[in-house]
Structure 1
C-alpha cells in the first residue's frame, strides 16, 4: 500500500512539473518575439492583439464625376485596408459636397491656389471640394490644361531644375508609399506639373511644393477614380 501511494505521488509530481514547463515555454520572451514577428507581417496574433495586413490597391469600385463612389466625406475606405484616412493620416481639410464656385462644365477640375482648394464639378450647381497643397512663393502658376495621363503609384524623376536646387535628391525613385508623388498622379499637358498624392498629409492647405498640386493619398485616389484623360483643369491664383 505504501509502495502504491508513493507511485501515485510520483506520477502526480511528474504531471505537475510537465505542466509548469509548458507554461514557462509558452510565455517566454523568445515565444513573445516570435509572435510579434508574425503579427508584423499580418499572419495572425496568438496573443489577441491587432493584426495588420498591407493592401496596395483601393477596395472600392471607380465612380466618375457623376458621384457614384458612394461617399463625399473624408472617412471613406482606406486604400491601405485600414479604413478612415490614408496610411499616413487623413487630410486636415475634409472632402465636401458644396455649391459650384462658378459656371464650369460638369467634369471640369477647378483649382483655386489662393484658397488651397480643388473643385471637381458634378453638374446641377454642385462640386466636390478637396483640400490641397500648392506651390510655395515663386512657384505659383495659373492656366488651363487637360489631363493627358493617369498613373497609379507613379515613379518620380526630378527635373533638372529641381536637381540643380537640390543635388541631394535621387535622380529616380520607383513608385511606392515612400515616393513623394504618392498613390496616384494626373499629368497636365506638356507641363512639369501634376496633381498627385503625398506622404506628407500635414502639408495640405500649405504652399510648400515646387508648383505641383498635392492631395492626400486618400483624396487623390478618389479624384483619380472620378476623372478621365482629357478632363479640363483650370488653375487660378
Structure 2
C-alpha cells in the first residue's frame, strides 16, 4: 500500500531500493554487482552488461530500472594479417583441403644438395620445393608447376615480395584466356593466394593459390604455386635477394 501511494516518485523508489538492499545485506542475502556475461570474445557475438540492481526482488519493487545493455563484440581476426575483410575471403572448404595428397604436405627432410642455407630449390618433375636449412636438412613443400609447354628451368633471385597481392594477367595470358578479369584485388579468391615472391624481372612468381587441390600437378602458366599456409611460411623465411634454382 505504501509503495502504491508513491508509485510515481523515482526518488522514493531509489530510497526504497537502497533501504531494501541494506536490509537484505543485513540478513545475509547477496545483492548482485554489475557483471559482464554472455559470449565474450571474437566471432560477432555480444557482451551483455547485467543490471546493477541484480534483478529479482529489488528490481521488481523498484520498477523501471534500465534493462541489460548489449555491446557488439569485436570482429574475428582474419587468418592472415593484412588481408582485406570482405565476405569473399572465406576459408577453403574442408572437402577441398582433403583432396590434397598427403605426400605434398610440408615436412622437414634430409637433404644432400650442396646449396647454401637459405637457397630455394624447385624440383619440377617431382613437384617439390626445398628450402635449404643447412647441416643436411631442408624444409620440403608440395607445389604445382607449369603445364606442358610452360615448364622452365634456371636460376633467379627474389626481386620483390607482396602480401595478398593483386593480380593483373599479362597480355599473352589474356590473349589465350579472354574470359579472365583484367584485374583482381588480393584475397583468398585471388589465384595468387596469400603471398607472392617475384622472380627476377620475369613474369614468374612463387605464390599461394585459391585452388589447393592442384598442388602436385602441372597446371600453371609457369609460376610455382603453393598452399597458402606453406607460402606464408616460406615468405617469412626468405628476404629479397634469395637465390632460387628451378630444375
TM bracket, shorter-chain basis: 0.5 to 0.7
Structure number with larger C-alpha Rg: 2
Distance 2:202 2:158 in 1: 11
2:207 to 189, 196, 205: 196
Distance 1:58 1:221 in 2: 11
Matched position secondary structure for 1:221? helix
Q: Equivalent residue for 1:43?
A: 44
- Per-residue CA deviation, residues 73-103 of structure 1 (Å, 9 max, x unaligned), is xxxxxx9xxxxxx932555421010111411
Q: TM-score, normalised by structure 1?
A: 0.66
Distance 1:201 1:219 in 2: 11
> 1:48-127 to 2 correspondence within 5 Å?
53-58=76-81, 87-88=91-92, 90=97, 92=101, 93-127=104-138
> 1:189-228 to 2 correspondence within 5 Å?
189-228=200-239
- Per-residue CA deviation, residues 16-69 of structure 1 (Å, 9 max, x unaligned), is xxxxxxxxxxxxxxxxxxxxxxxxx931289xxxxx93515259xxxxxxxxxx
Matched position secondary structure for 1:130? strand
Distance 1:173 1:95 in 2: 28
Change (3 A) 1:136 1:45: farther
Distance 1:178 1:57 in 2: 14
Unaligned segments of structure 1, at least 5 residues: 1-40, 47-51, 60-78, 80-85
Distance 2:91 2:152 in 1: 30
Change (3 A) 1:102 1:56: same
Distance 1:206 1:200 in 2: 11
Distance 2:158 2:206 in 1: 9
Distance 2:245 2:106 in 1: 19
Aligned residues: 168
Structure 1 runs (4+) greater than 6 angstroms displaced: none
Cα RMSD after superposing both structures: 2.6
- Measured after TM superposition, the shift of residue 109 of structure 1 is 0.1
Matched position secondary structure for 2:241? coil
Q: TM-score, normalised by structure 2?
A: 0.63
